[in-house]
Structure 1
């Protein structure tokens, strides 16, 4: 029996699309705006297309073949997800204690490990090692990303950090920043991949306590800082903080800015610590989807 070319092509496409291992890489479309969500209703990292008003990408540990079943619980209550390496990867962590480096194109989990202690933030260091901050137990951890493949055997070094909620690596100054309660702390990294260490440089008092989010201001030598009652811009050179004039400053879980045409976006909880909506700093809705439990939102840049 002979098949026409169109029927044969249709057969191949149908077979490919319904094969479990078949996978098409995903890349952001030029000119579109995307937001990375720490989304807790499904314990996942999601990417939302603003124009389409929908989620177009997700990394969900419970269905990932490269996350062992006994480790899925590490990723309960996703607490942060930020773009690294020019947006080609996402570095994520969860209150369940897990952290992961994910390749955006094919969702492959490049590295994952367990930090524990209600992990709130993670950052990638220049040599590829990953540092995390945990609020319960008061510590930071550096994970050596090369070596054993078993996540339970990963080499780690712990350092004291009171109420750890945030981390930012400054590529230009080669410094790690975190705000602990009301103290902006600066660390130097020893750049020894197999025996990593953080060396305290200084600690400067901020105008408010209860620090939560700390994130780089796009294209500027500064940091966004959110506390219980306000949002600040912190100049990393002078270590001075300027309060941002906005009526939406209380209990902000995340702040993220972008280039011209990208509004500064924030997460304001509607229930407990989550929301179904991303708004700009003036309160205008940027993205909303009923049923979501968004904890933080970052522009994919």
Structure 2
């Protein structure tokens, strides 16, 4: 386990209003980064798949008290014609667009979307294609959306800034692409796939972007999977591969810490340095899911009985 801060605070809940389906707490004070969103898949019943936002301060995640918000695409929230591209949610991130909270969402069945938070209404969406297996997305400062697709072997920047259904994009080839993360300090997009972690400069215009690789990080093992910010240290990224967890310095483009831990599907940390991760659990419906989210420093677990969780995300709009 990594310990970057000398003082670790125990999680406390900042949101206490009762959960409502497709709704959020009255005051989404998300910046504290105390809540955790999970991508709860339902392999045999796609319509049951959900993004679930939960409070780690509530010990039993199987109760209504823990659930703060849920979301899935419907015709009512603007996704008519795209609900068939949903069923295996693969990532979700809270972001800000101007002064408003939004979330970027991907689903392995093809959906990439930008939605309002807490409204859940569509701001932009496209079907990347189930054969491409979208794994992660990122909101860029100009309003465009970057999408990493593992089977497609690419990172695309979609011109979401040009309209709610804009499907134009520029592509960067990246075999087994799994992660995208904006870096506001260096003004680059970090991308992860296979053994490659690279930084892309985005030039051109919002309507016609161009991608150029400007840096890469050597030394990663195969199976690059998750890429997130270390919220308690602005210079570091979390990276998980098939066999290890890394912390990578963005300023030097080098690995600074390595942990031998295999099969991590998601790894991130709260502003107080508490780590949040998911690992496949024996007996879950698929080889990549779990019903349990693990916390470290301090250690804890939270379980949703019957869930098929892929990733867990600290609910903070900060890029770093």
TM norm structure 2? 0.78
Q: Which moved more, 1:59-68 or 1:124-133?
A: 59-68
- 1:188-199 alignment runs, 5 A limit: 188-199=201-212
Partner of 1:81: 92
User: Are residue 121 (structure 1) and residue 136 (structure 2) matched?
Assistant: yes
Contact 2:102/2:117 (CA < 8 Å) preserved in 1? yes
Tell me the distance in 2 between the aligned counterparts of 1:285 and 1:160: 39
Q: Note the C-alpha offset of 1:76.
A: 2.0
- 1:1-301 alignment runs, 5 A limit: 26-28=26-28, 33-41=34-42, 42-52=48-58, 53=61, 54-62=66-74, 64-68=76-80, 70-85=81-96, 88-116=101-129, 117-149=132-164, 151=165, 154-220=167-233, 221-245=235-259, 249-260=261-272, 263-270=274-281, 271=284, 272-281=287-296, 284-301=299-316
Cα deviation, 1:199-232, whole Å, max 9, x if unaligned, reads 1113332231211001111042110000111111
Contact 1:255/1:265 (CA < 8 Å) preserved in 2? yes
SS at match of 2:82: helix
In structure 2, relative to structure 1, the CA distance for the partners of 1:28 and 1:39 (3 Å cut) is same
Question: Which one scores higher on RCO, CA 8 angstroms, separation ≥ 6?
Answer: 2
Contact 1:32/1:49 (CA < 8 Å) preserved in 2? no
Contact 1:213/1:227 (CA < 8 Å) preserved in 2? yes
Question: RMSD of the alignment, in Å?
Answer: 2.4
Q: Note the C-alpha offset of 1:48.
A: 0.7
Cα deviation, 1:69-114, whole Å, max 9, x if unaligned, reads x311212200000111188221110101111112222221211112
SS at match of 1:256: strand
User: Aligned pairs, how many?
Assistant: 274
TM norm structure 1? 0.83
| Contiguous gaps of at least 5 residues in structure 1 | 1-21
Q: Which moved more, 1:77-86 or 1:168-177?
A: 77-86
Contact 2:290/2:308 (CA < 8 Å) preserved in 1? yes
Tell me the distance in 2 between the aligned counterparts of 1:158 and 1:179: 14
Cα deviation, 1:5-47, whole Å, max 9, x if unaligned, reads xxxxxxxxxxxxxxxxx97864336879310111112322110
| Contiguous gaps of at least 5 residues in structure 2 | 1-21, 43-47
Contact 1:269/1:275 (CA < 8 Å) preserved in 2? yes
Cα deviation, 1:213-272, whole Å, max 9, x if unaligned, reads 0111104211000011111100112222134446xx210011111122x51110011131
